[in-house]
């Protein structure tokens, strides 16, 4: 029984290794350059960089009613 489970484990391992070997790999320098370019292209739309206007901010403190 242990040889059967060992064989099944080895088949799973070979299948996983084949899957990993077939992946398209990208150099870290290329991935970093692409990420930097993406960030620079989209920085105008990033609320963490540009801020959120107080009129459209859903998390602003509620206004107090002065009539009461």
pLDDT band at 68 (very low <50, low <70, confident <90, very high): low
Q: What angle do CA 45, 51, 52 make, to 5 degrees?
A: 90
Give the single-character DSSP code of 58: T
Which residues are CB-neighbours of 54 under 8 A, at least 6 positions away? 60
pLDDT greater at residue 63 or residue 20 = 20
- CA–CA gap between residue 35 and residue 31 (Å, rounded): 6
Model-wide pTM > 0.85: no
Vertex 58 angle, CA 67 and 39, to 5°: 150
Domain regions of the chain by residue span: 2-42
Q: pLDDT tens for residues 20-54? A: 999 999 999 999 999 999 999 999 988 888 887 77
- Rg (C-alpha) for the chain, rounded Å, is 27
């Amino acid at each position: 029984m242990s040889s059967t489970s060992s064989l099944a484990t080895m088949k799973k391992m070979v299948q996983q290794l084949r899957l990993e070997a077939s992946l398209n790999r990208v150099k870290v320098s290329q991935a970093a350059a692409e990420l930097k370019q993406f960030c620079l292209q989209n920085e105008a739309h990033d609320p963490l960089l540009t801020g959120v206007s107080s009129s459209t901010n859903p998390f602003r403190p509620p206004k107090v009613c002065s009539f009461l």
